[in-house]
Structure 1
Amino acid sequence: MPGRALRILAAPLVCAAVSVSACGDLSGPAPTTHHSTSTPVPASHPSSTAAAAPSTSPAPAPTSTSSPTAAPATPRPAPPSPAQQPPPPPAVAPPLPAAPGPSCHPSYDPCVPITSDVDCSGGSGNGPAYTGRVRVVGPDEYDLDRDNDGIGCESG
């Protein structure tokens, strides 16, 4: 029968056309490490396996085709952080006006030195220190404001 012979030859050809690893070679079972998307073709008739005698021609070497694997995506570097501005310099407080030092008497303005005696310059006093016109803001220890109006050494 011509149709039967065609079926016997069709099974090995289908295996060869689909994938060698899916059908295996003549020496043993198909390798299990290869992932294939094809399915093995079962024999359609029990007599076809008996008629398909081992071929004397060598079986083609198994070939593996694997889908290309994509390289892992390289992570993008983090965007640069905004440049950090240096903190502003601390505010420098303006210097306080110089308080009268220990050498200035606190009752007179401008400074009258602290000493044993101060007289008005150009007057009849004998010093040792002399001063010009001053404002008296406290007790008049040197008797510079004789008329008690708050101004010392007015006439000199």
Structure 2
Amino acid sequence: MLVPHVTGLALSQAIKRLRARGLRVGTVSKRPSARSRGTVLVQSNRTGSKLKSGSSVSLAIAAPLPIVPNTIGDNRFASQRELRRAGFSVRTTKHQTSSARAGTVIDQAPNGGNRARPGATVTITLAVKPPAPPPPTQENNCTPGYSPCLPPAPDYDCAGGSGDGPAYADGPIYITGSDPYDLDADADGVACE
């Protein structure tokens, strides 16, 4: 008996075709596949090979790909454990955010609920705290052009002078650039002397 080509057929069609040639179906195993459930993926004997009547041909048929678990919101270790138990490899990336607890899964690809090949890599993204902002430097709290520092104010006048403030500076104040408060009346580079 010549073995018919049954790869790509539904299991029921493959069985009919084998029986029509006087052959039996041997072991039927399942393999995860993107093909339709029950489609013959592999046959044990090549098409056209000769077998005795009543011989068995084993088949491997398509089974649905496993579903990727949704691990968003889980901690890193729980996510990795669940994904590995489901048969997937895990890759971890990090993303700075203040909207989620550090170490929490905030994204994954492929998404939970999708089907993927066993052993496929699922990338999980973990929340990490953004770095703390640097403390303000004195420059950020100083009006440019004066030494020592003059904290920003609507206006400065020299203490003891005739100005109306609202802020007053005790001299000497060295002019290191522009003089936005016009404190250096004699333009000698030193104000409030």
Higher helix content, 1 or 2: 1
Higher strand content, 1 or 2: 2
Fold equivalence (TM over 0.5): no
TM-score, L = length of structure 2:
0.28
Bigger CA radius of gyration: 1
TM-score, L = length of structure 1:
0.34
